[in-house]
Amino acid sequence: MNALQSIGTGLGMALFGWLLQTTISGVTRKVIARIQKRRGPVWYQNFRDIMKLLNKRSVTHGWAFDFGLLVALAGAIGTAMFMPVAGIVAFKGFDNFFMIIYLAALGVFGRALSSGSSGNPLATIGVMRGLTQNIGYKVPYMLLVIALISYYRTSSISEIVELQRVSGWSVLVMPLGFVVAFISLHGMLGKKPFDTYLAPAEIASGPLVEYGGKQLGILMIAHELSVFIEVSLFVNLFLGGGATLPEFLLKYAFIYILSSSLGAVMGRFRIEQVVRFYYKVPIALTIVQILMLAVMRGGVR
């Protein structure tokens, strides 16, 4: 694939990711509404929200406020371009795990910079909570994936997907790891028990406190894209990533709706509980999983 064609597929992948995730989050809002015994909005409600926001005239707090926002969206789009979905890979051989994690982290840092520069201490507290939580769920998650990488001896996502088709899904390789990865994914998506950084009641929706109009619209697009990245990364690494598109969509929808409906029925943790939880349960499970992996597979070499 020459350069232009691969960039084209990459952009197509990013657009597909945004459309897919916005639709599914619209459907999920309906599912959550049904859980709460009400009817919920139409499935394309998120599209309408984003388009309304892009037509609103809101407020800016300086060039760093907007620059950080553009970096956030650029990081999300850039990472989504590399994501392999059902066999379609934009940049063959370059979609390795560490690069995706760090480019997504650039998006997170852009968002932190922009909400920090809004001047509202509520936003800084929200970002502080988000980063504290981030360190909680990222360490076990990345450790598990490193165990996977050293097991499959490759860190390129698309190769891992092929290998899983041959030797069965990674869920069978590391069942405990799957559970921990799901808990971390739950934290990454910011679903209910772990949405302390977005707590509307305590810190007025945390980092989003000063966003409105097009800033909030851009941030929602970046959020949808980063959710697409996290969930499809999870599906590719642990659930075999789908040979055909419908299979991938099915797994993707199942994981996201399961995580959201879990969130719908749980209360919100305090920030200390989140930190204490993440430093006990997932890390212990990960260590047990790695030891099991080392023992069962006779050394990972």
242-271 positions binding another protein, by CB under 8 A: 271
Select 25 or 215, whichever has its Cβ closest to another protein.
Answer: 215
For residue 79, give the nearest of 160, 141, 18 by alpha carbon: 18
Query: In the block, which residue shows the tokens 């949808």?
Result: 224
Q: From the CB of 81, what's the least distance to another protein, in Å?
A: 5
What part of residues 192-251 is at the interface with another protein (CB under 8 A)? 200-201, 204-205, 208-218, 221
User: How many residues bind another protein, per CB under 8 A?
Assistant: 109
Select 70 or 254, whichever has its Cβ closest to another protein.
Answer: 70
State yes or no: residue 165 binds another protein (CB under 8 A): no
Tell me the C-alpha distance between 151 and 126, whole Å: 37
What part of residues 122-141 is at the interface with another protein (CB under 8 A)? 122, 124-125, 127-129, 131-132, 134-135, 138-139
What part of residues 87-106 is at the interface with another protein (CB under 8 A)? 91, 93-94, 96-99, 102-103, 105-106
Question: Among 48-56, 162-170, 187-195, 260-268, which window interacts with another protein (CB under 8 A)?
Answer: 48-56
Select 43 or 169, whichever has its Cβ closest to another protein.
Answer: 43
Among 109, 169, 182, 277, binds another protein (CB under 8 A): 109
E strand or H helix at 19, and its extent? helix 3-35
State yes or no: residue 276 binds another protein (CB under 8 A): yes
Please state the φ and ψ torsions of residue 168, each to the nearest 5 degrees.
80, 160
Select 220 or 255, whichever has its Cβ closest to another protein.
Answer: 220
State yes or no: residue 74 binds another protein (CB under 8 A): yes
Tell me the C-alpha distance between 151 and 148, whole Å: 5
Residue 65 and residue 117 in contact, taking contact as beta carbons nearer than 8 Å = yes
E strand or H helix at 229, and its extent? helix 213-238
Residue 147 and residue 237 in contact, taking contact as beta carbons nearer than 8 Å = no
Select 178 or 269, whichever has its Cβ closest to another protein.
Answer: 269
Among 5, 12, 52, 172, binds another protein (CB under 8 A): 52
Tell me the C-alpha distance between 237 and 3, whole Å: 26
Among 146, 258, 262, 264, binds another protein (CB under 8 A): 146
Tell me the C-alpha distance between 232 and 39, whole Å: 28
Number of CB atoms found within 10 A of residue 150's CB: 15
The DSSP symbol for 268 reads P
